[in-house]
Structure 1
């Protein structure tokens, strides 16, 4: 990354508006900044019922030659911001780039609904989709979990829950710059939290604020359903692709999670995006990074090496 770009990023990253105080306003800003613009062949809204509660989902069908394969997508936003509206462009692009049907899950957000509300929504939505693959014209083997940032965390945790509860088990998962640990303070064991924690827009302070809003009880932070890298064993996990960004505080913990999965005998591929920042897949100014990411994702989806 050239010095001019580093200087500009440092200036942008310097102000820190209190996320804990203004998270509702931040949600509204994200919706305003992300109006739907990607041409969509077909988009359907649906609700998955769990007891007497509804989990909204949005189904994106590719414009051309859709495959009978499905990506269940969990959006980022630190478990606090983001929704199926602010991620409509991302999911439409994902469907068209992969030719997969994409189902975006609108899980409950913290702090109004702290852990484990959001991840339970993701689990129940995935369980429902896996239980009725014929509705989508596919088999269970053709349903894949994917998420970015906090959504990458949720995808990893849903895979752990699925194994532990024995109701279904994904064959593949794609984790894009995922959060896998709970500590993003100076005591973090991962160098990228300190090296990339102040000058690259997504700061380690903001990530820690998200965690504080998501997990109210301190003891819950040691739960592998919050921090999957803390799981004592990671046997029987899906074939995994982890994509990290070079200048991201979460880089090292994402890659460390991949290595730990490998140590337990799982098939894992790890790819670091050179010069990339956290959040590139939803940043229209990072189209080159996004295109490269989908090139890697498609190779993974088609079981090809890169």
Structure 2
């Protein structure tokens, strides 16, 4: 790893950053750093009602410069269920739409701690339902041809949405892509996954930060073992979409992401696992020419275009 980059990551790992105390300041910084997108014919802003019509859910639609494939992507952003939104992920989703040649729908789900579990999950599930309804009216005849994707906490939500769609007897995505997903509930030193201890101190995303995010998202510790929070705890992972799991070498979540890929495979699903070497957590938001992202785009395209 580049020594200067490692030094920057070390600074970002400072214990002075307290997620539970500083999450609002981080959100404000993101609002300043990620300016709202300029008017563009390639971006559409939509809203849908929650199932009980108590609130609206913002959805941003990204059209690729050159559309190559009909199957759309529902993208669920990361941020530990606490930070991140469709503005901070706009550049990432624009790049993703162009790289995959597909329309990308980005969902602005409710965030903790103002809206703890299961609020964000309910929003993501609702948008998945609406996307399916839209495909039935305006899309290809085969409405199963859609893709769900997410990174980090968004990868967690994407995985759980796929499980819930199966449980409710609804049409599932035909493929899912999970980028360095959260799949387990314990991120302490006692975690069964060595990458938590190996990578959990000096690479930006620390053990302390992960645990703080989890506490804000699911205050009830016992509830964190629920498969709707930790999908690796699910007793039945059969009949899931064909899955690509992408992990990062220096990510504390590396091992649990790979364990989820293994669990899916053992339950009879088609699974592809790819670890990006010399990479850290969160690279989906990097500039599109960054090596980890360029590599991931190639892997995603190969996975999505193969039958």
Same fold (TM over 0.5): yes
Q: Gaps (5+ residues) in structure 2? A: none
Alignment partners' CA distance in 1, 2:114 and 2:266: 37
Report matched runs for 1:246-261 at 5 Å. 246-261=249-264
Q: Is 1:193 aligned to residue 196 of structure 2?
A: yes
Q: Is 1:18 aligned to residue 18 of structure 2?
A: yes
Deviation at 1:137, TM superposition (A): 2.9
* Other-structure match for 2:119: 117
The question of whether the paired residues in 2 share the 8 Å contact of 1:68 and 1:136 is answered with: no
* Other-structure match for 1:184: 187
Alignment partners' CA distance in 2, 1:260 and 1:69: 26
Alignment partners' CA distance in 1, 2:255 and 2:39: 35
* Other-structure match for 1:143: 146
Alignment partners' CA distance in 2, 1:39 and 1:54: 22
Query: What root-mean-square deviation, in Å, do the aligned CA atoms of Structure 1 and Structure 2 show?
Result: 1.9
Alignment partners' CA distance in 2, 1:6 and 1:285: 20
C-alpha change, 1:69 and 1:17, in structure 2 (3 Å) is same
Deviations 1:173-205 (A, max 9, x none): 000000000111111100000000000011111
The question of whether the paired residues in 2 share the 8 Å contact of 1:196 and 1:247 is answered with: yes
The question of whether the paired residues in 2 share the 8 Å contact of 1:152 and 1:175 is answered with: yes
Deviations 1:93-123 (A, max 9, x none): 1100001100001111001110011001100
The question of whether the paired residues in 2 share the 8 Å contact of 1:74 and 1:147 is answered with: yes
How many pairs are equivalent?
A: 304
Alignment partners' CA distance in 2, 1:228 and 1:222: 9
Alignment partners' CA distance in 1, 2:76 and 2:212: 20
Alignment partners' CA distance in 1, 2:83 and 2:8: 25
* Other-structure match for 1:240: 243
* Other-structure match for 1:33: 33
Deviation at 1:56, TM superposition (A): 1.0
The question of whether the paired residues in 2 share the 8 Å contact of 1:66 and 1:101 is answered with: no
- Is 294-303 or 64-73 further displaced after alignment? 64-73
* Other-structure match for 1:79: 81
* Other-structure match for 1:51: 52
SS of 1:142's partner is coil
- Is 213-222 or 146-155 further displaced after alignment? 213-222
The question of whether the paired residues in 1 share the 8 Å contact of 2:76 and 2:124 is answered with: yes
TM-score in terms of structure 1 length: 0.94
C-alpha change, 1:63 and 1:38, in structure 2 (3 Å) is farther
Alignment partners' CA distance in 2, 1:93 and 1:286: 10
Deviations 1:249-273 (A, max 9, x none): 0000000000010001100000000
Q: Gaps (5+ residues) in structure 1? A: none
* Other-structure match for 1:108: 110
Task: Specify which of 276, 279, 282 is matched with residue 273 of structure 1.
Answer: 276
Task: Specify which of 159, 173, 176 is matched with residue 173 of structure 1.
Answer: 176
Deviation at 1:217, TM superposition (A): 1.4
- Is 38-47 or 221-230 further displaced after alignment? 38-47
- Is 259-268 or 60-69 further displaced after alignment? 60-69
* Other-structure match for 1:161: 164
* Other-structure match for 2:301: 298
Alignment partners' CA distance in 2, 1:191 and 1:94: 31
Deviation at 1:15, TM superposition (A): 4.1
C-alpha change, 1:32 and 1:114, in structure 2 (3 Å) is same
- Is 208-217 or 164-173 further displaced after alignment? 164-173
Deviation at 1:42, TM superposition (A): 1.2
SS of 1:175's partner is strand
SS of 1:47's partner is strand
Deviation at 1:51, TM superposition (A): 2.8
Deviation at 1:134, TM superposition (A): 4.4
Task: Specify which of 78, 90, 103 is matched with residue 88 of structure 1.
Answer: 90
Deviations 1:269-305 (A, max 9, x none): 000000001001112397111111110000011017x
